[in-house]
Amino acid sequence: MASGSGRQEGLNHMNKQKKFFIWNRKRAAAAIAVTAAMLMITAFTAHGGDLSGEGARAAVLLSLGAGLFVLLKLRIGRIGSALLYLLLPVAALWALENYTHVITDLAPLILVLNLLFFYLLYGLLIALCGSVRTGVLVATLVPLFAGLVNYFVVDFRGTPVVPWDLLSLGTAVSVADNYVFTLSQKACFSILVFFWIAVVASKSTVRFARRMPRLASVAVYALLLCLYVGAIQKSAVQSFFGMDTTLFTLNVLYRNNGIAAAFLGNLRFLNIEEPDGYSPKNVEALIAQVRAESEEQPETEAVSQAEQTEPETGNVSQIEQTEPETESVSQTEQTEPETGNVSQSGQPESETEIVKQTEPETETMIQLEAGTTVQAAAADYPNVVIIMDEAFSDLSVWGEFATSEEVMPFFKRLQEEAVGGEVYVSVKGGNTANTEFELLTGDTMGFLPTGSVPYQQYIHHETPSLASYLKSLGYRTTAIHPYNRSGWDRDKVYEQFGFDEFLDKNAFGDPLRLRGYISDRSAFEKIIEQFQLKGEDERAFVFEVTMQNHGGYSRETPDFDIYLTLPEVTNKTTSVVATEKYLTLMNQTDRALEELITYFEEQDEPVIVLMFGDHQPSDYITNVIRRICGVQEEDTLEFMEQGYRVPFVIWSNYGLEHRYYDGISVNYLGTLLMQNAGIPLTGYQTFLGRLMEDLPVINGLVYRDADGSFHSYDEQDGQAGELLNQYRMLQYNHLVDTKNRAEDFFD
């Protein structure tokens, strides 16, 4: 009797379970798959070290609960499905925002604007798929993966995804294996919520079998979505909803506007707007003005910086101009930053630096008689080498910190002996091609959409550049990049810029590699090889973009040992070890540069070398140095720009008068190089040389006036506004209005 009673209780228990759960092989497999996937995401997050005890328990419960919910005997009809349509997009919006910030950051009208997009997206895909269950699943994949990609992009480069990043997918994939992917606890819960959205929607039984109403719904939703995307790019709509339109810091823009609205709103920047007052006729008048001024004062223009204040230290650089008739380079008197072998500091010993500069006699552009074509004899000029070194920077700009040995002693010695200083770039932690663009064209990212990549968006025709100009003077022009030739579309852009040849990683036989990348030592040896291959009566222009110091410093590799350390830091966290690896790489570059300069010192032919960094490393490296130096976050333009400072040096084997530039921008480097090389300037370079006197820094984020003060582009009054608009018109003519381009002015 007892045995029979027990069996009966068991049967009753199973019957009760069958009332609430569905037990079959298909449903069990789905439940196991969902639970396993969610537990794997939880374990992956915990492995990265960013999941608390309570967070881990909550994640496990959500994972197990999702599996049980799949088994639950629940059918959601039309009324329930309508509620799902109202509620699930709200949950999806919460999960998307939660990847990098919180939904409560959004103002009420901004929240409505973002929700509207989600309702249109989910409605379109439900109608298109013909069922609530399938439509919600497909629609949920969009914010799930878009948010995840944006999360990793913010983590690696410090700024969110923008529309033109879609053009860079090939480049991103090619370097992705050098980064360490980890999830934060917030990101983990975002993904788990997306799983729950799909699981809840799977209980809907609503389908749309009638074809014509479905097609009509698809057409209506598609039309509304297109109207939404078009409207959100309009200034009137953005103003009505109170959207943040300041492109100054993309992270703040995305936080204030919501990821979806911010991304779609930025679509309007895929095309460059005409500057105020732009017309080919006005450009001709401006060019005539530049030429007239050049003829009036052909030898007295000084490329200088007026009195300016250093962001961190308050030190003042006063630059006095003299105009001797015979000097073609300047005389400099200044106090350099300390260069001891232990203390890495960006602080000058003296509060005042005085730099006296005179203009090289070669500033005037080549004058061409009508109907003639003139090629200057390249033999009259030096061989030109430019090295844009990947992530090469002097982190002592953040303050003093101790290292086991000096990081870049040779480079700093060159800065003390030749022409050097600090250059402000437009990018940080990535987007190397934008620094490259500013150098080779003389254009600035300041007049282009924040986050855009001109190489992929705007260079589709032959474009006058430093390479094409030197080629017109008889130089043999060579570009070198020891990695994939298609990265950032360089293979196409270099051809449009006028390079004779492009040597990628396949041009290196058996190079020395560090962390899997071709080392700077091997990269610089390729420069020497090109110098040796040229004819005796040829002059070479070699432009190299290196790869040795590329990001991904946390990744362990067997071909690299750290020897330069931070001795005062005892807690060797992952980020500290990555920083020591980065500093060791900087030292490796410094040693390779010394070998290159030693070689050119022994050559009879004149050679001039420009070397600079494309950007500082990612925040997880610079943050370590900032903590060591006790740097406190400041909400000022001066503080923000500290993250965009990199060093540069111009050296020649025929000797240059020492000059130190305490802050210029990359768009001026080409002009500065031509002046020190004794090569005549183009009209555009002449304009830039004069512009540098009044606005020594014009980069993608700010401009700096002659008094040393930084300004956002919202502040463009008086003379600064007039000069910036002149520059903007010339750049638009150079980069965009190719049909009316003043070719002889740029090249």
Could you tell me which residue, 276 or 320, shows the higher pLDDT? 276
Same domain, 254 and 345: no
Q: Considering just the CA atoms, what is the radius of gyration of the chain in Å? A: 30
Q: Judge whether 310 lies within some domain.
A: no
DSSP code for 308? E
Whether residue 259 sits in one domain with residue 362: no
Mind listing the pLDDT tens digit for each residue in 25-42?
A: 888 898 899 999 999 999
| pLDDT in the model for residue 450 | 72
Specify if 707 maps to a domain. yes
Judge whether 355 and 334 are in contact, CB under 8 Å: yes
Task: Provide the pLDDT for residue 340.
Answer: 37
Please state which of the ranges 221-235, 288-302, 551-565 shows the lowest mean pLDDT: 288-302
Least confident of 164-168, 341-345, 730-734, 742-746: 341-345
Helices and strands per DSSP (H, E), number in the chain: 26, 19
Range of the domain at 431: 280-290+319-372+387-746
In a domain, 33, yes or no: no
Q: pLDDT of 521-554, one tens digit each?
A: 999 999 999 999 988 888 999 999 999 999 888 8
Other C-beta atoms closer than 10 Å to the C-beta of 294 total: 20
Judgement on whether residues 326 and 200 belong to the same structural domain of the protein: no
Residues 327, 265: one domain?
no
Chosen domain end from 204, 237, 270: 270
CA distance 491 to 488: 8
Task: Note whether 495 and 644 are same-domain residues.
Answer: yes
- How much is the average pLDDT of 646-656? 95
Query: Does residue 475 sit in the same domain as residue 348?
Result: yes
Contact 494, 502 (CB under 8 A): yes
Tokens of 263: 């991304």
Q: Kindly report the CA angle at 230 between 229 and 232, in degrees rounded to 5? A: 65
- Within this chain, do residues 366 and 468 fall inside the same structural domain, yes or no? yes
Verify that 201 and 337 share a domain, yes or no. no
Residues 245 and 337 in one domain: no
Tokens of 165: 């990043």
Burial of 558 (0-12, 13-18, 19+ CB in 10 A): exposed
- What average pLDDT does this structure show over 671-693? 95
Q: How confident is the model at residue 8 (pLDDT cuts 50, 70, 90)?
A: low
The 10s digit of each residue's pLDDT in 97-121 is 999 888 998 999 999 999 999 999 9
> Which of 45-54, 315-324, 422-431 is the least confident region?
315-324
Instruction: Calculate the alpha carbon distances from 448 to 138, 275, 670, 708 in Å.
Output: 35, 11, 20, 23
Whether 406 is covered by a domain: the verdict is yes
Q: Can you give the pLDDT at residue 170? A: 65
Least confident of 163-167, 308-312, 740-744: 308-312
Bridge partners of 479, per DSSP, are 502, 543
**Do 404 and 264 share a structural domain?**
no
Mean pLDDT in residue range 636-661: 93
Q: Is 217 in the same domain as 191?
A: yes
Asked whether residue 362 is domain-assigned, the answer is yes
Whose tokens are 């537990």? That residue is 39
Number of domains in the chain: 2
- Domain assignment of residue 652, yes or no: yes
Is residue 706 one of the residues assigned to a domain? yes
Of 457, 451, 90, 426, the closest CA to residue 253 belongs to: 451
Residue 677 identity (one-letter amino acid) = A
586-637 confidence digits (pLDDT tens): 999 999 999 999 999 999 999 999 999 999 998 889 999 999 999 988 889 9
| Beta carbons of 336 and 415 less than 8 angstroms apart | yes
Domain-embedded: residue 314 = no
CATH of residue 458's domain is: 3.40.720.10
> 627 and 533 in one domain?
yes
Which pLDDT score is estimated for 214? Answer: 86
Query: What pTM value is reported for the model?
Result: 0.66
